[in-house]
Amino acid sequence: MAPAEARIAVVTVATDVIAADGLTKRYPPDVTALAGVTFAVAPGEFVAVLGPSGAGKTTLFRCLTGLTRPDRGTVRIDGCDVWAGPRELSQARRSVALIFQQFNLIRRLTALENVLVGRLAHVPTWRVVARYFTREDRQLALGCLDTVGLLDKAAVRADQLSGGQQQRVAIARALAQRAKVILADEPVASLDPESSATVLQSLRSAVATGVAVVASLHQVHLARAYADRILALRHGHLVHDAPTDRLDVRSIEQIYERAGERSEP
């Protein structure tokens, strides 16, 4: 089934799971990384963030995760203001799972054990260190591996998996965390086209469970194939925010051209 055909309808709800309002961040001496960025993402929605190098994507993701405090503006995750206080920041971070380009798996552990690491926020730390998990946790982790199509790799060490498979394990780990939103920073940048498609389809499988996904990408065609909505940044400004089926491809391409880059075909 083609990715566009496999796209699942966005769940319509009254409350957004993640919302940025007027995010502004400047770095000395005169770099504006974000300039009043405002958007919201609903549960079960896949949003792709496009933009050339220096557009502000990394700073945006750091603000959304609470790693960087904006100069102005707010970030709310599941209705909780990330910067209201230490308790709110901790609560918000439990609702967010991060997926990086580098996978960040423990290479000597099996795929199943890596997924179980996602339970860290829900079980005592000693259980994770000792690899002691309940039957319910293991069943949950196996179900998450099944969601990304890797149930048959549960007992395989991470360092014996391909890059695409490792990234899918990272997605399964995010699902085991029971996060309400997955933030994926360039999740397919280092993968071949076939692996990239498989990883993005796994993220669509996560969306099917009601999780919101926000992924930064360089490839316009992948955003069109898998995302429900596309945001585009240029020089820290949000210059495009529309559903994928209303995407003005030429305007997105011009964002890259003005920056002296090409969006990957």
Per-state percent for the chain, helix, strand, coil, to nearest 5: 40, 25, 35
**Cα gap 233→14, rounded to integer Å:** 26
pLDDT, tens digit only, all 265 positions of the chain: 445 444 444 444 448 999 999 999 999 988 999 999 999 999 999 999 999 888 999 999 999 988 899 999 999 998 889 988 888 888 888 889 888 877 789 899 999 999 998 777 665 666 555 666 788 889 999 999 999 999 999 999 999 999 999 999 999 998 888 889 999 988 998 889 999 999 999 999 989 989 999 999 988 889 999 999 999 999 999 999 999 988 777 777 777 776 556 666 5
Instruction: Read off the pTM.
Output: 0.83
Give me 146's structure tokens.
């099944």
DSSP bridge partners of 146: none
**Residue 43: Cβ within 10 Å count:** 20
**Cα gap 48→46, rounded to integer Å:** 7
- What ranges do the domains of the chain cover? 1-7+15-95+180-265, 104-178
Look at residue 240 and give its three-state secondary structure.
strand
Domain 1-7+15-95+180-265 CATH superfamily: P-loop containing nucleotide triphosphate hydrolases (3.40.50.300)
- Tell me the CA distances in angstroms from 170 to 150, 183, 203, 206, 256, one per residue in order: 11, 12, 11, 12, 29
